[in-house]
Homo-oligomer: A and B are copies of this chain.
Amino acid sequence: MHAWWRAANYLSVGQIYLLANPLLRTPLTMDDVKPRLLGHWGTTPGLNFIYVHLNRIIRREDCSVLFIAGPGHGAPGVVASTYLEGTYSELYPQVSQDEEGLRRLFRQFSFPGGIPSHAAPETPGSIHEGGELGYSLAHAYGAVLDNPDLIAACVVGDGEAETGPLATSWHANKFLNPVTDGTVLPILHLNGYKIANPTVLARIDPEELEALFIGYGHDPIFVEGEDPMEMHGRMAEALDIAFARIADIRRIAREDGGAPRPRWPMIILRSPKGWTGPKTVDGLKTEGFWRSHQVPFGDMSHPGHLKLLEEWLLSYRPEELFDHAGALHPDIAAMAPSGQARMSANPHANGGALRKPLRMPDFTTLAVEVPHPGGVEAEATRVMGQFLRDVMSANSEARNFRVFGPDETASNRLQALFEVTGRAWDAATLPYDDHLSPDGRVMEILSEHLCQGWCEGYLLTGRHALFSCYEAFIHIVDSMFNQHAKWLKSSQEVPWRLPIASLNYLLTSHVWRQDHNGFSHQDPGFIDHVVNKKAEIVRVYLPPDANTLLCVTDHCLRSWNRVNVIVAGKQPSPQWLDMDAAIKHCAGGIGIWEWASNDRGAEPDVVLACAGDVPTLETIAAAGLLREYFPELKVRVINVVDLMTLQPKSEHPHGLSDAAFDALFTTDKPVIFAYHGYPWLIHRLAYRRTNHANMHVRGYIEEGSTTTPFDMVVRNRLDRFHLVADVVDRVPKLASVGAYARQAIRDKLVEHNLYIRAHGVDLPEVRDWAWKG
C-alpha cells in the first residue's frame, strides 16, 4: 500500500511539474519542466493516502464506494489514482499505461488544451467539480439517497469546512434512512492550512473538535500523525472500525426496523499539508505549512530548485514502481479493486448511464376546465402539485424521483405530494407530526444550499428531481447553479459521460405576491443570472396559468442535460387556456392569443406582449380597457411561455427566426411588453430584432413593499392602466383622441390609491379579475 501511495504521489508531482522525461531516465533538465507551474500539491498526498486505504477496504468488503474529493484542487491525486487503477487509460486510451502515456498524463495537467487543475467532469469517478468549495458533503448525501448499498466516502477539507454550505451539510444525516438509503462516510482532512491562513477546525481544542462532531450526530474516529508507516496502520484500523459500524447500523436498521437515528461513523484525519513534499524550500518551512498549498517552489530558474525537484521525485523511488516500459508493477497494480469496484469506475459517478426516464402519467387528466378564457380561477402550483404526486406514484417502485425545497413544499402549494409520500426525517418525531417519515421522498431543510446540493448529487447519480423555492431566495444558490451549469456544459464535451436528468427549478411565491413579506422577498433576477450561461443548457419558462404549467412541467421532467427554470404563481388566478390550447401554446413557446386580440389577422396598431402570470393578467385587462376606450384600435396580444424564443435563433436553439419574430411583433408597430422580471432582460434578449426600437418593456423596478397585489403592479407601472397609458403615448393615431382615456386612467389610479389606503385591500373591480371575453 505504501508503494501505491508513493506511486500516486509521484504521479501527482509529475503532473504539476513535468512536461517530459516522466520516468527520470535521464537527469532532469529545464526542458523537462513545464514553462508555467500550476496546480495544488498541499492536499494531494492526503487524498492519495485516503484513496489507497479505501481501495484496501473495498477489496476486502467487496462494496460499492463513491469517492468525493471536497478539496477538488487535489486533482493531481485523484487523476493519479484513477490512472493507477487503469480506468483513466480505458476512457482516454491515448493516456496509456506506458512511458508515452505517463508523458501525456503529466503534460495535459493544467496545460492549454489539457485538463483543469481540479476534479472536473473529465475526471473518472467524480461527480464533483472541486473548483468552488462547500458542496462536497451535500453532493455525497444526494448521491446515496435511494442507493442502499452505496457508500460515499467524502473527503472534506478543513478549508472547505469553513464555508456555510458545508457547515450546515453535517446535519444532512438527520434526513438519511439507513434502510433505503446508502451511507456517507465523511473524512475530515485537517491539513491545517488554506491558501495563506491556518484553518479554524485545525486550531480549536481537541475536545471542542470532538464535541462538534458528536454534536453533528457523528461518532468521530481520529487518525493523527506524520510518520507514514504509523499512519498506514492507524488509517487501516480506522476504516475497519468505520466500515464495521456502517455494516452494523445497516443490519440493525434493516433487520429490526424502527431503530433510532444512528450515530454514523466519520474519520478525522490530521496529516501535514504537502505531506512527503520538501520539508523546506530556500530555508522556509514548506511541508506542513501553507507554503505547500499550491506549487511548493515555482521559480525553476532558482539555483537548486531543479535538483530539489529531482530529489523529491526520486524520493518516491519510481524505479520500484514502474517497469521498464513505464507500466505500474503488477504486484502494485493488483492492489486496485477490479472493474466497477474501482472508485474511478463506480457506475454511480456516471449517472447518465444509470438514468432511466421517469414513467410519466398523463398530465392532461389533471387539466383545469376553462369554459372560456378567464372564466375560472385556480392556483397553478396546487394543480402542479397533483401532477408531481402522480409522477411520484408512478415512479415509487423505481425510487428515482424526489422533490427538494427549503421548508416550502406546502407553502408553495405542492402538498398533494403528501398524499403519496412524506417528508424525509430521521430525527426525533412527536405524535402530532405531519407527514414526517424516514423514507419520505420530499426533502425539506431550511437551507437552499443543502437542497440544491442534495438535488445535484441525486441528479448526477442518475435520478430525477424538482427543486421548489421562493423566487427571491433562489439567489442564495446562484453560485451553485453556475457550477452545475458549467458542469453540464463541460460534460457534453466528455464522450463517456452520458446525459443526466435536467435540474428543474420551480420558482414560486414570486415577486408580485409578497403581500406581507414585502421588499426583501422581491427579486426576479435569477432569470437574468441563468441566461448568462450557455444557451444549450438553460431554459426559462413562464407559464401563465395552470394548464400551461402542467405542460411545461411534463416537458421539463422528460428533458436531460438542462437547467429548466419555471416561474409560476401559487395564488388563485384566472385561467386562460384549456388543455388543448395550452399544449399548442407551449409547443410554440410563444403565440398570439386571438381571443384577446382584435387585429383579426390584419396588421395591428399595437402589440401587447406579456410573459408571466401577473403580467398576463394585466395585459389581458389592458386589452379589455383598450377595446372599451378605443374600439377601432387593432390590438394584438402575444403571450410568451418560453422566454428563450425571444433570442435570435443564432443565439439560442429555441430562438424564433427573424421572420417568425417579425410576423408576430411586426417590424414597425409599438410593442408594449409586460414582463415578470427586470424589464431590461427583454431588451437584452431582443435587441437584435427588427422592431426592437419600438419595444417598450414594463417589469419589476424595485418598487413596492408590503402592499396589495394590485398596488404592487401599480408601483412598478406594470398595471393595466399604465399599460393603456403606454399605448396611448405610443400609437400616433391616439394622440388626439387619447385625452379621455388618459383622464380615465388618472382617475382610476387615484381611486385605487384612496381605496387601498382606506381599506387595505385592492379595489373590488381589480379583485374581480375574470376577463369577460
Instruction: Closest B residue to A647 by CB, please name it.
Output: B680
- Chain B residue numbers with a CB within 8 Å of A684 are 680-681, 683-684, 687
A164's partner among B207, B425, B450, B702 (CB-CB below 8 A) is B450
Q: Is A494 on the interface with B (CB-CB < 8 A)?
A: no
Q: Is A408 on the interface with B (CB-CB < 8 A)?
A: yes
Query: Could you tell me if B118 and A517 are in contact, using CB atoms closer than 8 angstroms?
Result: yes
Q: Is A340 on the interface with B (CB-CB < 8 A)?
A: no
Query: Could you tell me if B195 and A706 are in contact, using CB atoms closer than 8 angstroms?
Result: no
- Chain B residue numbers with a CB within 8 Å of A486 are 519-520, 702
Interface hits, A404-451 → B, CB 8 Å = 407-411, 423, 425, 427-430, 432-434, 436, 444-450
Query: Could you tell me if B159 and A168 are in contact, using CB atoms closer than 8 angstroms?
Result: no
Q: Is A30 on the interface with B (CB-CB < 8 A)?
A: no
Smallest CB separation, A238 vs chain B (Å): 20
In the complex, what distance in Å separates the CA atom of A230 from the CA atom of B469? Answer: 40
Query: Could you tell me if B216 and A212 are in contact, using CB atoms closer than 8 angstroms?
Result: yes
Q: Is A659 on the interface with B (CB-CB < 8 A)?
A: no
Q: Is A482 on the interface with B (CB-CB < 8 A)?
A: yes
Query: Could you tell me if A215 and B217 are in contact, using CB atoms closer than 8 angstroms?
Result: no
Q: Is A303 on the interface with B (CB-CB < 8 A)?
A: no
A38 and B473 contact, Cβ closer than 8 Å, known pairs A708-B112, A760-B111: no
In the complex, what distance in Å separates the CA atom of A174 from the CA atom of B202? Answer: 12
Smallest CB separation, A508 vs chain B (Å): 14
Q: Considering residues A208, A213, A681, which has the most beta carbons from chain B within 10 angstroms of its beta carbon?
A: A208
Query: Could you tell me if B174 and A168 are in contact, using CB atoms closer than 8 angstroms?
Result: no
Instruction: Closest B residue to A432 by CB, please name it.
Output: B285
Query: Could you tell me if A411 and B215 are in contact, using CB atoms closer than 8 angstroms?
Result: no
- Chain B residue numbers with a CB within 8 Å of A165 are 164
Q: Is A26 on the interface with B (CB-CB < 8 A)?
A: no
Instruction: Closest B residue to A205 by CB, please name it.
Output: B428
Smallest CB separation, A108 vs chain B (Å): 9
- Chain B residue numbers with a CB within 8 Å of A134 are 164, 476
Interface hits, A697-717 → B, CB 8 Å = 702, 705-708, 711
A131 and B520 contact, Cβ closer than 8 Å, known pairs A195-B411, A515-B36, A760-B35: yes
- Chain B residue numbers with a CB within 8 Å of A120 are 518-520
Chain A: interface size category: 35 or more
A706's partner among B117, B212, B290, B450 (CB-CB below 8 A) is B117
In the complex, what distance in Å separates the CA atom of A208 from the CA atom of B528? Answer: 42
Query: Could you tell me if B708 and A133 are in contact, using CB atoms closer than 8 angstroms?
Result: no
Query: Could you tell me if A532 and B528 are in contact, using CB atoms closer than 8 angstroms?
Result: yes
Smallest CB separation, A216 vs chain B (Å): 7
- Chain B residue numbers with a CB within 8 Å of A680 are 532, 684
Smallest CB separation, A19 vs chain B (Å): 7
A196 and B112 contact, Cβ closer than 8 Å, known pairs A162-B445, A473-B132, A520-B486: no
A516 and B427 contact, Cβ closer than 8 Å, known pairs A162-B446, A196-B434, A706-B111: no
In the complex, what distance in Å separates the CA atom of A168 from the CA atom of B171? Answer: 12
Instruction: Closest B residue to A163 by CB, please name it.
Output: B447
- Chain B residue numbers with a CB within 8 Å of A520 are 116, 118, 120, 129-132, 483, 486
Q: Is A104 on the interface with B (CB-CB < 8 A)?
A: no
Q: Is A719 on the interface with B (CB-CB < 8 A)?
A: no
Smallest CB separation, A563 vs chain B (Å): 13
Smallest CB separation, A485 vs chain B (Å): 9
Instruction: Closest B residue to A445 by CB, please name it.
Output: B162
Query: Could you tell me if B204 and A427 are in contact, using CB atoms closer than 8 angstroms?
Result: yes
Smallest CB separation, A132 vs chain B (Å): 6
Oligomer: number of copies: 2
Query: Could you tell me if A200 and B445 are in contact, using CB atoms closer than 8 angstroms?
Result: yes
Interface hits, A712-751 → B, CB 8 Å = none
Q: Is A356 on the interface with B (CB-CB < 8 A)?
A: no
A131 and B521 contact, Cβ closer than 8 Å, known pairs A204-B428, A447-B163, A475-B479: yes
Interface hits, A32-52 → B, CB 8 Å = 34-36, 38-39
A472's partner among B132, B159, B285 (CB-CB below 8 A) is B132
- Chain B residue numbers with a CB within 8 Å of A687 are 683-684, 687, 692
Interface bits A114-135 vs B (CB < 8 Å: 1, else 0): 1111101000000001111110
Instruction: Closest B residue to A192 by CB, please name it.
Output: B430
In the complex, what distance in Å separates the CA atom of A174 from the CA atom of B134? Answer: 20
In the complex, what distance in Å separates the CA atom of A313 from the CA atom of B160? Answer: 50
A408 and B195 contact, Cβ closer than 8 Å, known pairs A114-B706, A449-B164: yes
Q: Considering residues A159, A211, A429, which has the most beta carbons from chain B within 10 angstroms of its beta carbon?
A: A211
Interface bits A188-203 vs B (CB < 8 Å: 1, else 0): 0000001111111001
Instruction: Closest B residue to A208 by CB, please name it.
Output: B215
Smallest CB separation, A251 vs chain B (Å): 22
In the complex, what distance in Å separates the CA atom of A280 from the CA atom of B329? Answer: 74
Query: Could you tell me if A117 and B473 are in contact, using CB atoms closer than 8 angstroms?
Result: no
A195's partner among B39, B196, B410, B678 (CB-CB below 8 A) is B410
Q: Is A523 on the interface with B (CB-CB < 8 A)?
A: yes
Smallest CB separation, A418 vs chain B (Å): 10
Smallest CB separation, A371 vs chain B (Å): 28
Q: Is A214 on the interface with B (CB-CB < 8 A)?
A: yes
A171's partner among B111, B200, B446, B518 (CB-CB below 8 A) is B200
Query: Could you tell me if B112 and A760 are in contact, using CB atoms closer than 8 angstroms?
Result: yes
In the complex, what distance in Å separates the CA atom of A517 from the CA atom of B40? Answer: 10
- Chain B residue numbers with a CB within 8 Å of A448 are 163
- Chain B residue numbers with a CB within 8 Å of A204 are 174, 217, 427-428
- Chain B residue numbers with a CB within 8 Å of A515 are 36, 38
CB-based closest 9 A-B pairs: A212-B215, A131-B520, A164-B164, A38-B516, A167-B168, A167-B167, A475-B479, A211-B215, A203-B427
Residues of A within 8 A of B (CB): 19, 34-36, 38-39, 110-118, 120, 129-134, 159-160, 162-171, 174, 194-200, 203-205, 207-217, 285, 289-290, 407-411, 423, 425, 427-430, 432-434, 436, 444-450, 472-473, 475-476, 478-479, 482-483, 486, 489-490, 515-521, 523, 525, 528-529, 532-534, 678, 680-681, 683-684, 687, 692-693, 702, 705-708, 711, 756-757, 759-761
Instruction: Please list 13 pairs of residues, one from A and one from B, whose beta carbons are closer than 8 Å in the complex, sorted by A's number.
Output: A35-B759, A110-B516, A110-B706, A162-B171, A162-B450, A164-B167, A196-B408, A200-B427, A204-B427, A476-B478, A478-B478, A482-B525, A683-B683
Supplied contacts A195-B411, A205-B428, A215-B215, 17 more A-B pairs, CB within 8 Å: A113-B756, A113-B757, A116-B518, A117-B517, A117-B518, A131-B518, A131-B519, A163-B447, A164-B169, A166-B168, A167-B167, A203-B427, A208-B214, A473-B479, A475-B478, A475-B479, A489-B702
